[in-house]
Structure formats: C-alpha cells, structure tokens
Amino acid sequence: MVLLVQKYGGGSLTDLSKLETVAKKVKCHVDSGYRIVLVLSALQGETDRLIGLVNLLTPSCPQREYDALLATGEQAAACLMVMALSRLGVRAQTLNAWQAGIYGDGVHSRASIHRIDASRIQTCIDAEVIPVITGFQAVGDDLSVTTLGRGGSDTTAVALAAALGADECQVYVDVPGIFTADPKVDASARLIHRVPIAQMLAYANLGAKVMQKRAVACAAKYRVPLRICPTFIEGPGTVMEYENDHVIEKTLATAVAHANQQVVMQLSGLRSLQSDVTDLYELIGSYGCDIEHTLRQSHDDYHLDCVMSGDDHQLLKSQFERWLACRTHVQCRTTQNLARVSVIGFSMVKDIAMTREVVNCCRRANIQVRYLFATDNAISIIIDQAYVELGVRSLHQHFSLDKQQAVTTAQSELIPA
C-alpha cells in the first residue's frame, strides 16, 4: 500500500469548517486505500496569538517555557483533527514530538531535528490508525519541548517522510502550487508544475514562503518525493524533480523570489580569526539563526558582511552589542529596511550578461542596487524595502516569466493530491 505523509498548515486550517474539510479529504484518501500519516500546524493565527500573550506579560521570558507554550497550538490542532476524523469513522490518534520519537538538538525556538525513532508511528500505521503528529516541535535530551522555527511543520513532515520511507510527502497549502513569482505581487506569475529540487532550494532560501527552506534542504538530502498541493481546489500542484540533466549548460531564468525586511551588517577591523571571527560565529550559531555572510581579508584585518532577516537581527541585537562592547577595534555598520529580490535559474554566472540585464532592468526602473550577489542558481540584489514590489514586477516582466514555458511541463498523476 502507498504511504503518504501529508502536512496541513495554518492556511488550510483557518477555522473548524476548513479543518472538517481537510478531515473529509483525508477520509477520501483512506477510502482509496492509501496509508496516511498526518502532520499539522497550529490553526491560523494561533501561534501569533500565543506570542502576543507573551509580549503582553513580559519582554523577556524563559525560552523553555516559551517553546512549551507555542507547542500547544499544534497540540490543539492535532486533537481537533482526530475528533473530526473520528466523527467520520476514521481511526486516528495524536502523537506529540515525544510520543512520535522526534528528537532535536535542544536549541529553543530554532531547534534542528537530530534523529527520529519512528517505531510508535509504524505501530499506528500497521494497526490502520492514522497518526496525527504535532509539527513544529522536537524533544531535547532533557525531554524539554523545543520548536523548529516558523514554518517548522514542513521540516517535521519531510523528516518523517524520510524516516518512514514514504512514497510521497505532500505539503498542502492554500495556493495552487509554486509560481514564477508571488502572485500577490505580480498577477502575471505563472504556476510551475515541476521544479528541480535545486531550484526549489534556491527559491526557498531567497524568500519564497510556500515552504520552509530547511524542509526543502532535508528533502534534497534524502531525496524525499515531495509535492506542494492545493488544499481546496483540484490540481496536481508542484512536484519536485531530482533529475535536471536536460538543463546542463543552459542559461535560463525560471522565477523571481523576494524577502522583506532584510538587514545588512558590515563588520570591519576584525583582527583575529580566533578571538574575533570564530567567537562571533559561535554566538550566531548558539541561537540557530540563518545568516548569509562573506569574510574577506584586507591587509591585516578581516571584513565580515552579513545579510539576515529582521527577526534574526532583533534576536541577536543585544548579543551583538555586548560582543562589540568588548572589541572597540571593530567597526559595525547596520542598514535596515532593505529587501532582497532574486532572479533564480540555471547557470546564472556562466553568462555575465545575466547580471548585466538585472542591473540594467533596475536602472530603467530607477531602483538603486545596494548590494548584488551572483551564484550559479541565482542573482540577488539588495534594495530599499519601498521598491520591492516594483523590483519583482520589473524583473518578472523583463525575463518574460509570465510567458516562458517551464523547463518541463509533464505532470505526474500517480499519487493523488
């Protein structure tokens, strides 16, 4: 029998009516003979509500209790789903992270999954009971609950699919699939039915919010069959491909991604790789933040440039200030209210004309490019936040992504979405 790991997020669980719709969808798959493992996020808005309560109570709280509180959102959603399935005559039971055997590194708010003991999940499957698993959370060595960061339920689902050897991991969303740009920003954005996993990883890393980037990286590492599925409409969604030999040596732009509220931090005067640079890396790593950075030497000093989200900057701000207070020889310049816009594709640095086109497109739109980064998979620019939508639309139109055919348009219909 085909085993599907299905993840439903907040956009699919906005209220009890939609939760019941999801339960009926799951029942249809069970009635068709599929074995199902469910992973749920909290109902839409619930995590933000809990964070709001914390902010009203105290500006600083114990991180262990903060994670324990946020994890209750997924627990509530899982329990409600089991109740809805039970009413439809489908056997199911909830499993939290400890019961499901999901163990992490113990870093609060941004934990990583280290191992999964799937024996209890497999027992449920063998007994024809749907395990409804709380996403977004893991258990540390001290059995404390830790959370995986916003969107962490995606990582839970992909990691479970890898551990169980699932036939497909289906991430259900409230949109038809992956588009060439955010359709809320550019209405001409086109649905992509199949996308190479390397392209999806670049897309997620550079700001696309359809799926957590750590989840895509996990899928790429373990070659998990992955599909982004629409919850409330019929359609094949977007399937991840693991073979893309047909685009070798072909320069091609395929999508535009963007990330809002970026912060650039430039550190100069770093004198020692050990006492300055390595210590800073340890500080950042201890908080589990995702920070892109470049390090270069200039005469006897080192320069470190960092690009991070506004959330990560806020989390690390006080730590950075304490670190700098002990190093008067280091100069720090921080620029906020920025955005990143990225043209994603294949062999982007093979032809320098691609970079020239990005720069010229921005010049014609009167958009100042503050920083530019070019890799084989993407050309990214950092611009003022006020120009992000104009930048997305201009680049999407310039590379004709509203008209360009996808790399491959064949669709897989083997497994239902």
Q: What is the pLDDT of residues 387-407, one digit of tens each?
A: 999 999 999 999 999 885 533
Nearest Cα residue to 226 out of 172, 175, 272:
172
| Residue 24: both structure tokens together | 């009926």
Picking from 135, 140, 192, 123, the residue whose alpha carbon sits closest to that of residue 160 is: 135
Instruction: Examine the pLDDT at 89 and tell me if it is beyond 90.
Output: yes
pLDDT tens across 27-86, in order?
A: 999 999 999 999 999 999 999 999 999 999 987 889 999 999 999 999 999 999 999 999
Helix (H) or strand (E) holding 283: helix 279-285
Specify the CATH number for the domain of residue 138.
3.40.1160.10
In this predicted structure, the answer to whether residue 203 has a pLDDT above a threshold of 90 is no
Could you give the dihedral angle defined by the CA atoms of residues 406, 409, 412 and 413, in that order, rounded to the nearest 10 degrees?
120
Check if the beta carbon of residue 242 is closer than 8 Å to that of residue 408. Answer: no
State the pLDDT at residue 412: 33
pLDDT range class, residue 218, cuts 50, 70, 90: very high
The token pair at 183 is: 């359709």
**CA 130 centroid distance within chain:** 26
Domain assignment present for 413: no
Q: Cα-flanking dihedrals φ and ψ of residue 303, to 5°?
A: -120, 130
Q: pLDDT grade, residue 409 (50/70/90)?
A: very low
Number of domains observed in the structure of the chain: 1
- 50 is a domain residue: yes
Q: Helix 63-87 vs helix 16-31: angle between axes, to the nearest 10 degrees?
A: 60
**What whole-number percentage of the chain has pLDDT above 70?**
94
* Dist. CA 142–CA 106, nearest whole Å: 8
Share the mean pLDDT of the chain: 89
Q: Is residue 113 part of a domain?
A: yes
End-to-end CA distance of the chain: 16
Domain span including residue 93: 3-174
135/77 Cα distance (integer angstroms): 10
pLDDT in tens, 144-192: 999 998 889 999 999 999 999 999 999 999 889 999 999 999 999 999 9
DSSP designation for 106: -
Distance CA 132, CA 83 (A): 11
Q: Do the domain assignments include residue 232?
A: no
The predicted pLDDT at position 1 comes to 85
Q: Is residue 324 part of a domain?
A: no
Please, are residues 37 and 171 in contact by the beta-carbon 8 Å criterion?
no
Q: Please determine, for residue 245, whether its predicted confidence score (pLDDT) is greater than 60.
A: no
Q: How many helices (H) and strands (E) does the chain have?
A: 12, 20
In a domain, 109, yes or no: yes
* Tally of CB atoms within 10 A around 16: 12
Q: Which residues pair with 297 in a beta bridge?
A: 302
**How high is the pLDDT of residue 341?**
96
- Whether the Cβ atoms of residue 108 and residue 94 lie closer than 8 Å to each other: no
Confirm if 153 and 74 have CB atoms less than 8 A apart: yes
Residue 264: the pLDDT is 94
